[in-house]
Amino acid sequence: MKVAAIQMVSGTERDANLAHARQALAQAAEQGAELAVLPEYFCLLGQRDTDKLAIQERFGHGPIQGMLAQAARELGLWVVGGTLPLSVSGQPERVRNSCLVYNPAGDCVARYDKMHLFGFDNGQERYDESRVLEAGNTPAWFDLSARDGQCWRVGLSVCYDLRFPELYRQLSHAGAHLLLVPSAFTHTTGLAHWEVLLRARAVENLCWVVASAQGGLHANGRRTWGHSLCVNPWGEVVAQQATDAGLVLADLDMDALLRWRNQLPALGHRLL
């Protein structure tokens, strides 16, 4: 199954970001991808954390969700919509940072609300997602029937989740073959930890890992790390793009995954 990790450098205008995302999805489909994964905050990286409140949508309604559903349907593509801000009932000043999955018919078949909210302060950079975001509390996955007849169970996660291996262990225990990590890692933390964390999640769960990222200097002055990539279950990086917008394409092999799991049956040796 061919998968596309879409790297973006999203700006402060929602509609411009949606146009760039739609174009990238079309390119992924043209190059034979069955599944395309947009990055976290693909629809907006605003001047302030609170800017996302102005574009929040109710689940099932709105232009961001409409674009994702239409693109999936028109392109015949599985689309993972990075993240977008979904409204919290009764709390207009808070949103969920939600990852939505659309099948090639344009139906939303899965929703994951980011569980772990990023916090960082090194004296020069400071981030606290909990000021605007409400955390999710439930792991999520979906089943994808590929064109070759293989059925993939796909686990969902977002960015800072990557530092919490217990989430991925739950996804693995649920039968995941592929783990998705749409992200907007900072340049500072990405330089230090991005690749090693992704490779660790692949190795310890014997899963394919595909991570789509924001990658470059944004209009709001923020610099994201990029390096969207695909890692095989043996921990090898098989495709990667350093910075700037683009596509990372990789062919995922279910037979290879099963072979590695048979050779090293670590998932069956778990005691906890």
Task: Find tokens 């929602």 and name the residue.
Answer: 14
Degrees, nearest 5: CA angle 255-257-259: 70
Closest among 25, 45, 81, 1 to 220, alpha carbons compared: 45
Q: Which residues contact 256 (CB under 8 A, 6 or more apart)?
A: 232, 233
Closest among 188, 187, 168, 186 to 178, alpha carbons compared: 168
Closest among 235, 212, 232, 236 to 224, alpha carbons compared: 212
Torsion of CA 10, 97, 186, 223, to 10 degrees: 20
Task: Find tokens 């005691």 and name the residue.
Answer: 271
Q: Just list the catalytic residues.
A: 40, 114, 159
Question: What one-letter code names the amino acid at 228?
Answer: S
The SS3 of residue 234 is coil
